[in-house]
Amino acid sequence: MNHEAQEHGMNMKRAIVTGSSGFIGSFVCHDLLDKGWQVTGIDSMNDYYDVALKRARLARLEARNGFSQIEDKIEAPGVLAALFDQQRPEAVIHLAAQAGVRYSIENPRTYFEANLGGTFELLEAARAHPPQHMLLASTSSAYGANTQMPYRETARADHQMSFYAATKKSCENIAHSYAHIYGLPITMFRFFTVYGPWGRPDMAPFKFTRAILNGDAIDVYNHGDMQRDFTYVTDLVQALGLLIDVAPSLNAPPLENDSLSPVAPFRVLNIGNSETVQLLDFIRAIECTTGKTATQNLMPMQQGDVPATWADASLLRALTGYVPQTDIQTGVTAFVDWYRDFYKA
């Protein structure tokens, strides 16, 4: 790197993105790089799903200037502390977690270690070197048994339905305590069924598309009587990019229906499309794009799952002026096109 490039690098804002080779994490890294940030990612590259897909995402990032990645577990003691000490980031976007509602029933320890242990290590590292803003991923699953739709951030969320959701809600509570004690500005964002190109193979859009293209049957839970607030990945990433500059502050007057804590620079925020899509309509969008009809195995509701999710995104709009709006057919078409290209299907 020449002297001019070194000086430029010193003036660049620095971000740490955990889970940087993941589906959402890789998109977030690209977005930050597009905006001139220096990005350091960390990812364990575990084999929960196809590592080759993670490697392909990483290869695209490593081809870009301003990006570097550490391959390690965030829950490993001292790893994040050393990274924060070296980087002193202005922003942190924490996406690394063991994901998946159903897998948490089979392997709860993985969720305990990665989600709770990893978030603890992150907050300890941030306590030593406080960033200007930390955005930590939570989930719509945190609303659990709450049936008041659309979900509003100020609604009670006390009855999580899966261990995955329980770990993420616990992370919200732990993060609030750190925000209160150490003055760390933290936004916990609850996202709603994110989908799009480079998506995870364990999620319905990927599984349905693969099965339909292969002529295999798909499992449709709760006999298809399910609704989701599907959020296209670049909509989520755009919202996060805008939120980086909207750190919560105790000095800021709260907005209407604000979830801003009365005792900490801490806020919970929904990121969703603010509309529900019937699962059967989502399947029809895949059928329309592929030109093939799905064979459906109608199944009962799975343990830990919820029949519907629906985001109230009015707080996001009030803070950033933005609300995700990619319609389901546009998003599904983009995913199927990517899938066919990537897998030569």
pLDDT of residue 168: 96
Catalytic residue among 111, 151, 164, 221: 164
Order of strands, sheet of 266-271, starting from the edge strand that comes earlier in the sequence = 67-71, 38-43, 14-18, 91-94, 133-139, 186-191, 266-271
Residue 85 has φ and ψ, to the nearest 5°, of: -60, -35
Place of tokens 């659309």: 150
- 2 has pLDDT over 50: no
pLDDT of residue 10: 55
- 3 has pLDDT over 70: no
Provide the 8-state DSSP code for 22.
Answer: S
For residues 151-174, give the mean pLDDT: 95
- 304 has pLDDT over 90: no
Contact 52, 94 (CB under 8 A): no
Contact 92, 122 (CB under 8 A): yes
- 22 has pLDDT over 90: yes
pLDDT of residue 66: 98
107 CB-side CA count, 13 A: 10
Q: Does residue 345 sit in helix, strand or coil?
A: coil
- Of 13, 127, 24, 26, residue with least CA distance to 80: 127
For residues 118-124, give the mean pLDDT: 98
pLDDT of residue 48: 92
Contact 20, 83 (CB under 8 A): no
For residues 148-165, give the mean pLDDT: 92
- 127 has pLDDT over 90: yes
- 92 has pLDDT over 90: yes
Cα distance between residue 267 and residue 184, in whole Å = 11
- 95 has pLDDT over 80: yes
Beta strands in 192-265 (DSSP E): 194-195, 217-220, 227-228, 231-232
Q: Residue 220 — pLDDT band, cuts 50, 70, 90?
A: very high
pLDDT of residue 310: 80
How many Å is the Cα radius of gyration of the chain? 20
For residues 125-144, give the mean pLDDT: 96
β-pair partners for 6 = none
- 176 has pLDDT over 80: yes
Weakest-pLDDT range from 131-135, 209-213, 218-222, 307-311: 307-311
Name the average pLDDT for the chain: 93
For residues 29-39, give the mean pLDDT: 98
- 153 has pLDDT over 60: yes
Which tens digits make up the pLDDT trace of 187-213?
999 999 999 999 999 999 999 999 999
Where are the alpha helices (H) located in the chain, listed in sequence order? 3-11, 23-34, 51-62, 79-87, 103-106, 108-111, 118-128, 163-182, 204-214, 233-243, 279-290, 314-320, 328-343
Which tens digits make up the pLDDT trace of 242-294?
999 999 999 888 798 999 999 999 999 999 998 889 999 999 999 999 999 99
- 4 has pLDDT over 60: no
Q: Does 178 participate in catalysis according to the annotation?
A: no
